[in-house]
Amino acid sequence: MNAVPLPTLSDIEAAAELVYRDFAATPQYRWPLLCERLGTECWLKHENHTPVGAFKIRGGLTYFDQLARRGALPREAISATRGNHGQSIAWAARRHGVACTIVVPHGNSVEKNAAMRALGATLVEHGDDFQQAREHADSLAAERGALMVPSFHADLLRGVATYWWEFLRAVPQMDVAYVPIGLGSGACSAIAARRALNRSVRIVGVVSSLAPTYAESLAAGRVVEVPATTVLADGMACRVAEGAALEILAPELDHVVRVDDDEVAAAMRAIFTDTHNVAEGAGAAALAAALQERGQLAGLCVGLALTGGNVDAPLFARVLDAR
């Protein structure tokens, strides 16, 4: 397995200059009601405020910028996604004039699919989960001679790390940060930013209990394939952990918290009630984990990553109605 290098401080700073050509740094707020709910100082990083409603756009921009710098822009880029990574790749491909095809599993978010098409991507539906969609995307890329864009790569990490670089600089007193794990770019980038800024913040990984491949793999010290059955936290619905991500996460994460769909739904409602922001399931997972560990957080400064707000309206309405 090839090790994936983490971006350095100079890498992240250069990536930030690139990202800010498309949008400004996202805000982080200390919402009083959220602090009251958690019983301690709490900051929420609003990656739901990017142009695609999620943090992934940062990685797409740096990935394609690095291709351009190497003179390696392809005629067509292909990738697989549950939605936010696909929007990121579609956004960046359009910026560079590259045709883009995205493979999604059947039953994927209707609104995420629509957003990718609006960015110029051609959508292909295949398989019942992300892993089957990814395998089909690999095959399509090989057949067409297109570039297969992975969901985990060093050039993606350098962009994603900019949001943690922003967050840790804005809240230097942060003691502990909770970050959801889908394929690992967010958590690995948090580690990169912590290293780059020489901070001591504890980083807690959050997985869905209905998609626990990363929890099981970290415990076993190897990739463990586990079915992903979560409906609500689709951005975390990964069946097979990324080995290169595990190598980064294993020695650096403080611990991993598993949250179920009921806890995620409660966190989505809490974010809406306390901040009037919409969080998709994966975007609310960090708060769900912090609430689970509320008794251990008194007196600490807690950072929560609201990684995305792209939830279909009918699903969000059902979550709110279930209060």
Quick one: average pLDDT of 22-30?
Answer: 98
3-state secondary structure of 202: strand
HSE-up of 169 (CA within 13 Å, CB side)? 16
Query: What domains appear along the chain, each with residue ranges and CATH number?
Result: 9-54+154-321 (3.40.50.1100), 57-148 (3.40.50.1100)
How far is 19 from 17, CA to CA, in rounded Å? Answer: 6
How far is 79 from 39, CA to CA, in rounded Å? Answer: 41
pLDDT band with cut points at 50, 70 and 90 for residue 1: low
Per-residue pLDDT tens digits for 227-261: 999 989 999 999 999 999 999 999 999 999 999 99
Quick one: average pLDDT of 262-282?
Answer: 98
Q: What is the per-residue pLDDT for 58? A: 98
**Res. 145: pLDDT tops 70:** yes
Query: 183-207 burial, b for 16+ CB within 10 Å, e for fewer?
Result: bbbbbbbbbbbbebeeeebebbbbb
Mean predicted lDDT score pLDDT of the chain? 97
Q: Are 45 and 68 in contact (CB under 8 A)?
A: no
Per-residue pLDDT tens digits for 288-308: 999 999 999 999 999 999 999
> What does the DSSP assignment read for 255-319?
EEEEE-HHHHHHHHHHHHHHH-----HHHHHHHHHHHHTGGG-TT-EEEEEE-B----HHHHHHH
pLDDT band with cut points at 50, 70 and 90 for residue 266: very high
**Strand 122-125 versus strand 99-104 pairing type:** parallel
Quick one: average pLDDT of 36-45?
Answer: 98
Q: pTM higher than 0.95, yes or no?
A: yes
Only one residue has tokens 């995205």, namely: 102
DSSP state of 63: H
Quick one: average pLDDT of 23-37?
Answer: 98
The count of other CB atoms within 10 Å of the CB of residue 166 is 21
Q: What is the per-residue pLDDT for 3? A: 84
Q: What is the per-residue pLDDT for 2? A: 65
Question: Among 176, 186, 244, 184, which residue's Cα sits nearest to residue 211?
Answer: 184
Q: What is the per-residue pLDDT for 46? A: 98
Per-residue pLDDT tens digits for 164-222: 999 999 999 999 999 999 999 999 999 999 999 999 999 999 999 999 999 999 999 99
